[in-house]
Amino acid sequence: MSNTPSDSVRVRFAPSPTGYLHIGGARTVLFNWLVARRAGGTFILRIEDTDQTRHVEDSVAKILDDLRWLGLQWDEGPEVEGPYGPYYQSRRLDIYERYLQQILQSGHAYYALETPEQLQAMRESAKRDKRNITYVRPNPVPTIAEGLAAKAKGHPVVVRLKMPDRDITVVDDILGDVTVAADQLEDFVIQKSDGFPTYHFACVVDDELMKITHVLRAQEHLMNTPKHIALQWALGFQTPHYGHMPLIFNVDGTKMSKREKEKAIAKGLPPPEIDVHDFRAAGYLPEAVLNFIALLGWSAGDDQEFYTMDELARRFSIDRIGKTNAKFDREKLLSFNTTWAAKLPPERLLAAFKDYMRVNDCPAKLLARAAPSSIPPYQAGTEGGLPDDATLSRILHACAGFRTFADVIKKAGFLFVPDEAIEFDPKAMAKVLEKNNGEGYRMLELILPRLEAQSDWSASALDALIESFCKEQNVGLGAVAQPLRVALTGSTISPAIGLSLELQGRDRARSRIRRCIANSRG
């Protein structure tokens, strides 16, 4: 790690509250968090909410919830006491105003009085002359008195930084030196006409006052950094270490943007996972997501792929971040998730599954299509319609090898709904129950009395009963197990048939079989 301009490493993640946390933002959080943890430093969360036009209600709560799900706790920030708060920019306006006055008084900034129409005329003139569309500084610049007078009259007055007449070099810990020529830099707005600071100004002031030593962010911010350095020069601030990480693209080279979701929904297609919440709701494990995104642009230099957070914190370093853009391979993420689901201790997997159920409002979501019923969704050991922890653990064990928790629901969701909610798949009925003149229905009718008389409702006893029945009927296991499976679930998918019967419970299992048989009789 590079030498730091202060004794302690202090990094930050500074999202705008515009919705759930994007997966690219999650990687930025992770890399900053790892830098802080390896150095024994401090990770700060700062909410950049000065752009009132982009603020989305409840976004902050969503971002905090996403970070907690990932397990990336901040050391200073919202809900956490710290010496450099407040950590919402909208609550720091008086601080920005002080530094704005300082930079105006020093002559490094000035009030700009152009109307929107005049600015548009500048752009059109540059376009006609085939020049770069840049703001042209007035000569002379308006005085402070002229700016205040214009503001008093209600004119749309902004404040612009007077850019230095020299090249600016960004010393980047990832990309190396990046120099932007003076003629490519224009005076930019640091206070908007509504009185709010722009992102650039607030960001630079906060980084100084919060003693940020390293700014690690995506390459799309690289062109902002010369502006920030110019502001630091004008204000007499330190320049932190900068590192601009490679961008994340889909495998096909397209950008992972929220517009993808909007386009998919407009076309009636399943939207791709883009935000952290999408992956959470789709049934991914935070351990798998973190492990996967850690490898998007970073490598320890060996063949290791699976890392715990402790291992990542020990091995992570900025100098191992690459310069080329990363590809988000969803199939590889699925593979990671499958491996992590098999690796995690049972108690951790259970906690993650219960979180998935809560996020997806299960079983209420599964009951949405069901008619009102006096039969509760699940009988034994329930709380709020869910099985007890022991039963949920058995369900997870029965579905071992699943890729995401959505697979568990697909395989064992029948356990969480009342009988009336079971919808029989016509293809399953035709293939399993109706073929050969209703052979499947006949098997159900023959085995039902055996099940009615069965006292031991354990999976092993039920498997033994079914095996004995198959021998008596001189049929294979599938000839009996599959009709039972369709009767219980409405489909051909479930855990092992004996365990499915046990988990369903004696009364409800037999009730479903009777209902299925009755269905055949119209």
pLDDT in tens, 271-328: 899 999 999 999 999 999 999 999 999 999 999 999 999 999 999 999 999 999 999 9
Is 21 in contact with 59 (CB distance < 8 Å)?
Answer: no
Report angle CA 476, 482, 486 to the nearest 5 degrees.
Answer: 165
pLDDT over threshold 70, residue 7: no
Look at residue 522 in the predicted model and tell me its pLDDT. Answer: 59
Q: What percent of the chain has pLDDT over 90?
A: 79
Look at residue 363 in the predicted model and tell me its pLDDT. Answer: 63
Any idea which of 89-98, 279-288, 511-520 has the lowest mean pLDDT?
511-520
pLDDT over threshold 60, residue 199: yes
Look at residue 13 in the predicted model and tell me its pLDDT. Answer: 98
Q: What pLDDT band is residue 26 in, cutting at 50, 70 and 90?
A: very high
Q: Which of 443, 388, 408, 307 is nearest to 34 (CA)?
A: 307
| Residue labelled with tokens 């016509």 | 426
Q: Which of 360, 368, 367 is nearest to 277 (CA)?
A: 360
Strands 158-161 vs 109-112: parallel, antiparallel or unpaired: antiparallel
CA 129 to CA 91: how far, in whole Å? 44
Does the annotation mark 410 as catalytic?
A: no
CA 287 to CA 276: how far, in whole Å? 12
Q: Which residue has the higher pLDDT, 372 or 506?
A: 506
CA 513 to CA 147: how far, in whole Å? 82
Is 402 in contact with 353 (CB distance < 8 Å)?
Answer: no
Average pLDDT over residues 68-97: 96
Look at residue 56 in the predicted model and tell me its pLDDT. Answer: 73
Q: What pLDDT band is residue 386 in, cutting at 50, 70 and 90?
A: low
Q: What pLDDT band is residue 270 in, cutting at 50, 70 and 90?
A: confident
pLDDT over threshold 60, residue 151: yes
Residues forming beta bridges with residue 161, ordered by sequence position: 109
Average pLDDT over residues 160-178: 97
**Cα 244 to the chain's mean position, in Å?**
21
Annotated catalytic residue: which of 258, 261, 332, 354?
A: 258
Q: What pLDDT band is residue 130 in, cutting at 50, 70 and 90?
A: confident
Structural domains of the chain in order of their starting residue, each with its CATH number: 422-520 (1.10.10.350)
